[in-house]
Structure 1
Amino acid sequence: MPELYNFLMERLALYHNLEYDSGEDKNPRLIFYNENDEEVKVVPVKKMKADEISSLLDSLGFYKRSQKGEEVPEEFKHFPLNAPRDEL
């Protein structure tokens, strides 16, 4: 899973409202929750390339900082804005 490792080391910190749980799961996946903390979507990422994971997050409206440590603008602080609320 070198691509997943690459994403975690190089890109994860750029995304706002994205967390990583380092459990011993052999089938890593992205789990999306709605505003009520209910699971609404699961995407397996074991075979995805780092660019594919980034593209998925971008398409769902996750705010991506241009560099680590950059402040997130106030209008982007609440979950992905491009995603319909009933889906994410």
Structure 2
Amino acid sequence: MTQAEVARRMGIIPNSLANYFKQPSLQFGILWNIGLALEYDFLKELTNYYPAGLPFNENANIIRELNEKKEALDEMQKEIRIYKSALGIQE
């Protein structure tokens, strides 16, 4: 995707977009709008750099989804142990 297309999707002129990238940092709102224009979740990338132990918003969709997947994985691991036991497979 070209810079001009991203700018069009953001409703700004290409020169403004180019100027954003000349800055040492971006305001969150600008990063958010670029992410929407690119259909890319920059926050997902940024959370990889959070310090360990930093509390997350437990009500956030991604955290809720992650917790649901962990629970499903735990259940599957229990089922595998049961199947292995029933088949006489030692772990």
Look at both structures and tell me which one has the larger radius of gyration over its CA atoms: 2
Structure with bigger RCO (C-alpha 8 Å, 6+ apart): 1
Structure 1 or 2: more helix by fraction? 2
TM-score (norm 1): 0.22
Which of the pair is proportionally richer in strand?
Answer: 1
TM-score by length of 2: 0.22
